[in-house]
Amino acid sequence: MRVLVTSKSFGHAAPEALDLLAANGIEVVRGSRPSLSAAEIAAEIPGFDALVVGNDPVDAGVLAAGDRLRLVHMHGTGLDAIDIPAATARGVLVANAPGANRNAVAELTVALMLVAARSIDRHIDILRSGRWERTPGHEISGKTVGILGLGQIGRRIVELLSGFGVRTVAFDVAPDRDWAARNGVTLAAGADEVCAEADFVVLALSLNAQTRSFIGARRLGLMKRGSYLINTARGGLVDEAALCAALRDKAIAGAAIDVFDPEPLPPDSPLRHSGATLTPHLAATSVESAGNVSRIVARNVVDVLLHGRAACAVNPQALARRLEET
């Protein structure tokens, strides 16, 4: 059994993940370089039974080239770069590691709220330039935080904010009402209500056809003039041109953005000059989360390749498809 790994961080923070694969006779081969294109992965994938990717694209061409491919595993949570219907049609399982990086993402989300509200990044630049200037910012305490998406990351954000004395309002398409009640979360009837009420609008959504450009000109127009947008989820959730316009016109007070569409953020992107706080898709990048994810991935690879178990898969029907073909 052979696994092609294009994820840069797989196994580095958890060498025991590599040991587990080796102990089960599974060979790990690193991609020719980090961040491969779909065409480059397609050229390297023949002869491999599994593929472990970071944010690399896995399209129909990659799947067609995988003559032995049984599993595509995201080294993280986001699956928007993987063509899941095409994988299912070919009997290829697709998996991720939900929850493994939830604390890292939630912690950075809260940090970015503080950075944006107090203009910390701007004041650092001022001090480094040799000047001594300061302008008052805003406290989080006493504010309303609106969270769009109450999955594992959204819930962890709520938990971390519990000590700040905030009011939390949230929207989720399938909310756990008991959990919300226990944690003091007010469930809104819709996303528009969250945008209109919150001082901080926090995105904790997955990206799909229904959520692409979820925050556009209309919802930005619903937000308070003194509010902030925080996105550590996926870049495609926000219409970047509309956000730049809202910041330029001071329709909102600010934004802190960790994810972009496309990535890396192009050098000429208007966001670079918008006044928003920007970080390079940093949210899930912690030593602890990388170790968690690697261990989960290794266990899942062993389960699929050696035992035919698909409990980890988001498309378990692909296993039935493969059995039909054999």
Active site annotation includes 234: yes
CA atoms within 13 A on the CB side of 181: 3
Q: What is the rounded distance in angstroms from the CA atom of residue 112 to the CA atom of residue 308? A: 42
- Identify how many contiguous H helices and E strands the chain contains and give both numbers: 13, 12
Q: Is 248 among the catalytic positions?
A: no
Residues pairing with 82 in the sheet: 58
**From start to end of 161-261, where are the E strands?**
167-171, 185-187, 200-203, 228-231, 254-257
Q: Which of 73, 138, 281, 295 is catalytic?
A: 281
Instruction: Clarify whether 307 is annotated catalytic.
Output: no
Whether residue 51 contacts residue 31, with contact meaning beta carbons closer than 8 Å, is answered with no
Cα 302 from Cα 24, distance rounded (Å) = 7
- AA letter at 228: Y
Per DSSP bridges, beta strands 167-171 and 185-187 are parallel
**Active-site pick, 73, 138, 155, 234:** 234
Question: Could you say which of 263, 299, 321, 322 is catalytic?
Answer: 263
Catalytic residues: 234, 263, 281
